Structure 1
């Protein structure tokens, strides 16, 4: 039985590697085609006129705050930290390998709970805790976003954001970056991307995650209104969206003035010195350490503080 499961897991990983190779090949070919088409269009009179009319940025309102506050810097780190581990545990769950241990809630500590104790794999337990911490971080982010007026930086207030976002995308695709000053205002493509992450992808990830967790009712109208199959269908693509967004985000940061961008995001400074890079490097070290330490022996010891761990 164990041998059969190991074979299935090995086949799954081989299929994933094959899929990654084909996806990478298709992505590279598509990227080359997009770059060539974008550069061709920019040389046309129509392309030049379009970019001149829509440079890629919608000026912010006069009352819009300038600069990036300190709370946004630590929020940036926490989101990256939790998402990294969420993606890792998500892939561990999709591998369908037998968990190295199982956690069961201790009902003596939760006497008011009517449900019978649910047994879950240690990776699922860790995934759910990471989800909860990420959600709390996101809620505090949204509250601070509206409390400080920073919402205007990522919420479009003018329909001109659409053609300007297309213009910015065209400029990025042609490998001639649009003029920008993210300390004052994001370009329209950035604004739409951040709006999508915060107000569309994140709520969708939370909702589908809840549907797949033990927190969702086992029966009733909510079960019929949101089938588990639909949640599974949506949850994985949302994770892929976050991975793609993170990859593009990191590439653009490193290719459009890395020192200044890292200072803005991590050191709350609009300068070109190395302080932001140092803070960023320290944050990467913390994430690497967390990745290395998040192994079954440590997870079991932590999980044992809130329930029974077997295996």
Structure 2
């Protein structure tokens, strides 16, 4: 074994312009640490296990090696560096693990530490904080027998060693020595792939796409779905209409159907004394009816869509009876429509015009069938509306005036605020649910009637028919006013007025009018 010592190597000065550190006057403290192979062999020979040494109170870590060597001359000089704390001594402190033979090692160990484990509470030393176990199922680390070793510049750190005969001490110290004093090494980087990489992280691995906003729905469908429904439905209707036209044309080409058309041309003669022509008051009634019906349908659809009204109306004599401004507008239009209808019925029977829209013979039904077949075959009836309507028109006008209009009025009155709600017997006899189930289909009937009516008016002689309805001009000669544009321009003016009323039907315009009849508020 080699022995030897060397002086302390001096480093950089601690202050600017000073001497190298440590000063030359300070005596280098050599710390002898026995070589590891000798210590291991000695420990194996004597059957001893080194004990762990805990950190000191000042945060200094004492190095203690418990071993025996055949010769005390095996020492390795330990180089000391900077102090661990401000104003402290160079690190490590003067800790020397003596190398001696077996008897001398036993004597030194007995002088440094007791033969049995001691606790920090026995000598007043601070206790060691214990943490998680180092092995699965083990005790908390460090063991309970570890104490803080007091270190001085001249004294070595405590080295706990058990004598060969002290079996109890060896049994308690040995498990602590078997546990590693250093934390487990963290897992290193992954090993490189043994095959070429073929899969790569996609865009979603580093970027999460923004959720798409929910499409706005109009009823059960979105705008795109409604457009698709209209397109597909329109194509289907056109196909069905084409097939119907071909089928009816084939049917009317048969001899039996030709005789049917000759017997029932689509119209029958009116009773004697029936008026000829359309009076001016009937034209104005027709315009007012269209104007009010369009606004009634608009306000009715708004009521069905409106969930939280923004403006309310209450009558002056009942401030608590609030209702939405839209419902008030709808009911006000209903009252005006009923007044116009009542005037129309009175003038209709007073002037004898009722014979034009009220069936007066059973021939109306076969003639209505004949007219319907002619319409479907696109070989439309050529009656003169100034004198007489065809049977299908007569039935349609009769159903609208004397069936659909009263149903709309009765069901609307049941759902309005004018219904006597306190009359429980009357309310039970006529439930509001029945009124709601009838009122909306009646509105749909009016919509379909208006669409078909306008299409047929424009398709069966637009100028002549518009002169009849808006200008009250006509003749028994169907070609007399076929080139007159008066009725057409009056029809255009009426459309402009209706469109302006449609746009103006909003709270900003309706609120001042509603204040004339009640109180308007935002709640």
TM-score normalised to the size of structure 1? 0.90
Residue number among 53, 59, 79 corresponding to 2:263 in the alignment: 53
Structure with bigger gyration radius: 2
Q: Which has the higher helix share?
A: 1
1:301, CA displacement in angstroms? Answer: 1.4
**Counterpart residue number, 2:506:** 295
Q: Which moved more, 1:123-132 or 1:46-55?
A: 46-55
Return the alpha-carbon distance in structure 2 between the equivalents of residues 45 and 100 of structure 1: 65
**Counterpart residue number, 1:117:** 320
Q: Do the aligned partners of 1:106 and 1:117 also contact (CA within 8 Å) in 2?
A: no
Return the alpha-carbon distance in structure 2 between the equivalents of residues 215 and 25 of structure 1: 46
Q: Tell me, what secondary structure is at the counterpart of 1:62?
A: coil
Structure 1, residues 260-306: CA drift from partner, whole Å, max 9, x if none? 00000000101230011111111111111111111110111111121
Q: Do the aligned partners of 2:319 and 2:519 also contact (CA within 8 Å) in 1?
A: no
Structure 1 residue 144 corresponds to structure 2 residue 354: no
* Aligned positions of 1:38-49 closer than 5 A: 38-49=248-259
1:16, CA displacement in angstroms? Answer: 8.5
Structure 1 residue 85 corresponds to structure 2 residue 289: no
**Counterpart residue number, 1:13:** 219
TM-score normalised to the size of structure 2? 0.54
1:143, CA displacement in angstroms? Answer: 0.3
What residue ranges of structure 2 are gaps of 5+ in the alignment? 1-213, 475-480
Structure 1 residue 73 corresponds to structure 2 residue 276: no
**Counterpart residue number, 1:110:** none
Return the alpha-carbon distance in structure 1 between the equivalents of residues 300 and 500 of structure 2: 19
Q: Do the aligned partners of 2:466 and 2:491 also contact (CA within 8 Å) in 1?
A: yes
Structure 1, residues 200-221: CA drift from partner, whole Å, max 9, x if none? 0000000010011111121333
**Runs ≥4 in structure 1, deviation > 6 angstroms?**
none
**Counterpart residue number, 1:3:** none
1:39, CA displacement in angstroms? Answer: 1.6
1:30, CA displacement in angstroms? Answer: 3.7
Relative to 1, partners in 2 of residues 1:301 and 1:116: Cα closer, same or farther, differing over 3 Å?
closer
Residue number among 237, 242, 248 corresponding to 2:452 in the alignment: 248
Q: Superposition RMSD on alpha carbons, in Å?
A: 1.9
Relative to 1, partners in 2 of residues 1:16 and 1:186: Cα closer, same or farther, differing over 3 Å?
farther
RCO higher in 1 or 2 (8 Å CA, sep ≥ 6)?
Answer: 1
Structure 1, residues 159-218: CA drift from partner, whole Å, max 9, x if none? 000000010011001111012011000000000000000000000000010011111121
Q: Which moved more, 1:29-38 or 1:117-126?
A: 29-38
Residue number among 160, 170, 175 corresponding to 2:373 in the alignment: 170
Structure 1 residue 202 corresponds to structure 2 residue 405: yes
Q: Do the aligned partners of 1:57 and 1:164 also contact (CA within 8 Å) in 2?
A: yes
**Counterpart residue number, 2:35:** none
Structure 1, residues 58-114: CA drift from partner, whole Å, max 9, x if none? 11112100000111000010000000000001110111332231111122xxxxxxx
Q: Do the aligned partners of 1:102 and 1:310 also contact (CA within 8 Å) in 2?
A: yes
**Counterpart residue number, 2:8:** none
Q: Tell me, what secondary structure is at the counterpart of 2:221?
A: helix
Q: Which moved more, 1:11-20 or 1:195-204?
A: 11-20
Return the alpha-carbon distance in structure 1 between the equivalents of residues 234 and 515 of structure 2: 41
* Aligned positions of 1:13-32 closer than 5 A: 13-15=219-221, 21=230, 24=234, 27-32=237-242
Q: Do the aligned partners of 1:90 and 1:127 also contact (CA within 8 Å) in 2?
A: yes
Q: Tell me, what secondary structure is at the counterpart of 1:308?
A: strand
Q: Which moved more, 1:286-295 or 1:32-41?
A: 32-41
**Counterpart residue number, 2:105:** none
Structure 1 residue 304 corresponds to structure 2 residue 504: no
Q: Do the aligned partners of 2:285 and 2:344 also contact (CA within 8 Å) in 1?
A: yes
Q: Tell me, what secondary structure is at the counterpart of 2:382?
A: coil
Return the alpha-carbon distance in structure 1 between the equivalents of residues 245 and 308 of structure 2: 44
Q: Which moved more, 1:20-29 or 1:172-181?
A: 20-29
1:116, CA displacement in angstroms? Answer: 6.8
What residue ranges of structure 1 are gaps of 5+ in the alignment? 1-6, 108-114
Relative to 1, partners in 2 of residues 1:29 and 1:207: Cα closer, same or farther, differing over 3 Å?
farther
